Amino acid sequence: MKSKELHRLIRAEGWDTVRQNGSHIIYRKNGKTIAIPFHGGKEERPGLAPKIMKIIDQENNGKS
C-alpha cells in the first residue's frame, strides 16, 4: 500500500493529525496516538499496513 493511501484511509477513519515530526505524521483518536511514516507515493513496508489496520479496527470496536 502506498503511503498516501494509508494516510488517506487513517483520516477517513476519523483520526486527527496532531503534528508532523520529520517524515512521521502523528495521529490521535479517543486518547490513542499513533505515528505513521509518510513517504508520498512510495510503498510502505509490507508489515506496516496490516499493523495499522489492526490498531484502527481495535479503536473502532472500542477495544484497547
- CA-to-CA distance for 31 and 23, rounded, in angstroms? 22
pLDDT tens for each residue of 28-49: 998 999 999 999 889 888 899 8
Q: Is the pLDDT of residue 60 over 90?
A: no
Angle between helices 48-60 and 3-12 (to 10 degrees): 0
* Domain extent at residue 9: 3-60
Residue appearing with cell numbers 508532523: 20
Q: What is the pLDDT of residue 23?
A: 93
All 3 cell numbers of residue 31?
Answer: 486518547
Q: What is the pLDDT of residue 25?
A: 96
Q: What's the domain count of the chain?
A: 1
Local confidence band at 57 (pLDDT 50, 70, 90 cut-offs):
confident
What's the pTM value of the predicted model, to 2 decimals? 0.82
SS3 category, 26: strand
- Output the domain CATH number for residue 49: 3.30.920.30
Local confidence band at 58 (pLDDT 50, 70, 90 cut-offs):
confident
DSSP 30: T
